[in-house]
Amino acid sequence: MFGRGGILQGLVRMFRPSGEFAGTAPYPKRVWADFNGLFRSGKILCLSHKNTSIDEDGNTVKLHRGMHLTAFMEDEDGDGKRDDLIASGIVEASPEWLRCRGSKWILVIDENGVSHESELRNAAESSG
């Protein structure tokens, strides 16, 4: 569906409070985003039409310029198992051409692009 990003350097292994592996990401803050809002060949992602977003635990996160975070959206692998889409980068104010559509904040996606969590997990496991 989406092109593979490069292998992330300095991955943070993330675990849910239950101890279950929650994936890897270069930034520990994860917020939900609709990946149908990818623009500019997958280089930017519309994060929110408000000044806040919701993290993976359901908490409200106030967005601001320069914030480093990872966006995620629930997805499934070919066997129907959860395999979220993720992208990391830096939060910026939406450009004018997106603001007219209601967008307030975007994620400028880093060089690793958009990946499924399983791709990052497999890369991390094979490298260490």
For the chain, the maximum distance between any two Cα atoms, rounded to a whole number of angstroms, is 46
- Percent of the residues in the chain that have a pLDDT greater than 70, as a whole number: 77
CB 12 within 8 A of CB 24: yes
Average pLDDT over residues 90-96: 95
Enter the tokens of residue 107. 């994620």
Average pLDDT over residues 4-30: 46
**What span, in angstroms and rounded, lies between the C-alpha atoms of 88 and 107?**
8
- The model carries a pTM of 0.74
Q: Grade residue 27 by pLDDT with cuts at 50, 70 and 90.
A: low
**What span, in angstroms and rounded, lies between the C-alpha atoms of 44 and 29?**
18
**What span, in angstroms and rounded, lies between the C-alpha atoms of 66 and 57?**
22
User: CA torsion sign, 123 to 126 to 127 to 128?
Assistant: positive
